[in-house]
């Protein structure tokens, strides 16, 4: 089979989530052949991760981006998403999330422009996002955060004086939700229970994220992105000595407080000058 046809079969399955017995009639190939080449292409795409994952770049001191200029040194945003899975009956309990669906919990990290920096699929749906993150950080070749840099996460301040920070934090964090939304809109295979074993599913989830980055870089006018925005309108390591824990510290608490005060002072000054 020519490489063009192998890739066409792979993309067709990702985009439409059809069973192999349907694909075999579309391409005139046996189910065994379809299955074999789907896995071959998936493995090939995953091997491109060091080419297709975005290398994180911190927000610079002179940034003028209204959404990001407050978060100096920030590398991006991280969050988890659930992908519906199909697993043997004896382990369904482990994959049942708090909504009752059978899913796998996927950690995604993306840059301010929505390209994926790191993706970590495979955990059961019943596992919390924080546990998935801890595991990703603890692995030798896992998720690394260089000292002095940080990512925005789904956690806000409970104190009312921090409302200004929360508003800007939420606005910046929206990029990861948008990335996941576009990802699932483009690839139907991520929107319904998988026909494949968990190991294969983990592989094609990663492949979908890598293809997402490739499309963002090479397709300026992406119709899927435009469609998502219309509906929605009303993630190589860098640095050395990476952070290896998730515990709060006085230094980071002070950093957050100073950032919140800077935002609020700028906000009130702007209102006074109007």
Residue 108's pLDDT band (boundaries 50, 70, 90)?
Answer: very high
CA 208 to chain CA centroid, Å, is: 10
Residue 237's pLDDT band (boundaries 50, 70, 90)?
Answer: very low
Residue 168's pLDDT band (boundaries 50, 70, 90)?
Answer: low
pLDDT (average), residues 199-206: 94
Query: Which pLDDT value is given to residue 159?
Result: 54
HSE (side-chain half, CA atoms, 13 Å) at 129 = 12
pLDDT (average), residues 218-242: 66
Residue % of the chain over a pLDDT of 90: 46
Tokens of 189: 């295979």
Spatial separation of the C-alpha atoms in residues 131 and 273, rounded to whole Å: 46
Residue 1's pLDDT band (boundaries 50, 70, 90)?
Answer: confident
Q: Are the beta carbons of 74 and 109 closer than 8 angstroms?
A: no
Provide the phi-psi class of 147: left if phi over 0, else alpha when psi is between -120 and 50, else beta. Answer: beta
Residue 161 has pLDDT above 50, yes or no: no
DSSP symbol at 113: T
> Which of 32-56 are b and which e, b meaning 16 or more Cβ less than 10 Å from the residue's Cβ?
ebbbebbeebbeebbeebeebbbeb
pTM of the full structure: 0.77
pLDDT (average), residues 120-138: 90
Residue 240 has pLDDT above 70, yes or no: no
Residue 70's pLDDT band (boundaries 50, 70, 90)?
Answer: confident
pLDDT (average), residues 66-71: 85
Spatial separation of the C-alpha atoms in residues 250 and 209, rounded to whole Å: 35
Residue 219 has pLDDT above 80, yes or no: no
Domain boundaries, the chain: 3-47, 54-273
Indicate the helix (H) or strand (E) that contains 151: strand 150-152
Residue 36 has pLDDT above 50, yes or no: yes
Q: Are the beta carbons of 136 and 117 closer than 8 angstroms?
A: no
Residues 6 or more apart in contact with residue 55 via CB below 8 angstroms: 117, 236, 238
Query: Which pLDDT value is given to residue 84?
Result: 92
In terms of pLDDT, which residue wins out, 263 or 70? 70
Provide the phi-psi class of 57: left if phi over 0, else alpha when psi is between -120 and 50, else beta. Answer: beta
């Amino acid at each position: 089979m020519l490489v063009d046809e192998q890739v066409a079969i792979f993309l067709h399955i990702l985009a439409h989530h059809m069973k192999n017995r349907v694909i075999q009639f579309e391409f005139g190939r046996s189910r065994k052949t379809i299955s074999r080449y789907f896995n071959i292409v998936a493995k090939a795409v995953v091997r491109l991760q060091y080419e297709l994952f975005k290398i994180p770049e911190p927000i610079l001191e002179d940034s003028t981006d209204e959404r990001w200029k407050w978060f100096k040194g920030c590398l991006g945003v991280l969050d988890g998403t659930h992908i519906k899975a199909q697993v043997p009956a004896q382990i369904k309990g482990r994959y049942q999330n708090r909504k009752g669906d059978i899913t796998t919990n996927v950690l995604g990290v993306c840059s301010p422009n929505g390209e994926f920096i790191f993706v970590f699929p495979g955990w059961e749906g019943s596992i919390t996002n924080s546990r998935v993150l801890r595991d990703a950080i603890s692995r030798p070749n896992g998720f690394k955060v260089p000292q002095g840099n940080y990512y925005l996460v789904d956690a806000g301040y409970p104190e009312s004086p921090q409302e200004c920070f929360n508003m800007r934090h939420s606005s910046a964090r929206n990029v990861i939700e948008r990335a996941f939304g576009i990802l699932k809109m483009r690839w139907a295979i991520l929107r319904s229970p998988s026909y494949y074993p968990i190991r294969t599913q983990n592989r094609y989830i990663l492949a979908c994220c890598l293809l997402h980055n490739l499309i963002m870089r090479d397709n300026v006018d992406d119709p899927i992105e435009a469609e998502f925005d219309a509906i929605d309108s009303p993630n190589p390591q860098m640095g050395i000595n990476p952070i290896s824990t998730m515990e709060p510290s006085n230094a980071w608490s002070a950093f957050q407080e100073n950032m919140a005060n800077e935002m609020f002072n700028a906000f009130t000054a702007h209102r006074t000058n109007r």
